Amino acid sequence: MRQVSKIGIMMFAVAVVVTAIAAGCASAPPPVRTTEASTSGIRAAEEVGASSVPRAALHLQLAKEELGHAEGLAADGEKEKAESMLSRAEVDAQLAVALSREHTEKSEALAAVERVRQLRQDNK
């Protein structure tokens, strides 16, 4: 009976050691889905011209920096911090897109108001 319990304890100890070694050796890249979401958000912000709108450009730059920081955290095995940073990058990229679109829509609205003024003046 004593021998069975020693074998059980030894097997448990081996399992713990193997798990610890596997966890230490495993790389911790960020989840692909989260990385892709952040990267595509940055790309979308660039495509809508966020870099030419000052407020949007700020958030686009933040998103790029946060993505780089997340990659560094992932390389260091800081998975939770990397995922958090990737989420921040995605949100900043989305904000850059929204600010850029707002700027475009506001510009278009002002141009439409000016056209209406001009038409009213021409019809007097």
* pLDDT at 14 exceeding the cut of 60: no
Contact 96, 63 (CB under 8 A): yes
* pLDDT at 39 exceeding the cut of 50: yes
Which amino acid makes up residue 20? A
The residue that leads in pLDDT, 111 or 5, is 111
pTM over 0.95: no
Contact 63, 93 (CB under 8 A): yes
Supply the pLDDT for residue 124. 81
Domain boundary assignment for the chain: 2-122
What is the pLDDT confidence band of residue 35, given thresholds at 50, 70 and 90?
Answer: confident
- Cα separation, 98 vs 100, in Å, equals 5
The DSSP 8-state label assigned to residue 76 in this structure reads T
* pLDDT at 15 exceeding the cut of 90: no
Distances (CA, A) of 8 to 15, 16, 18, 19, 36: 11, 12, 15, 16, 45
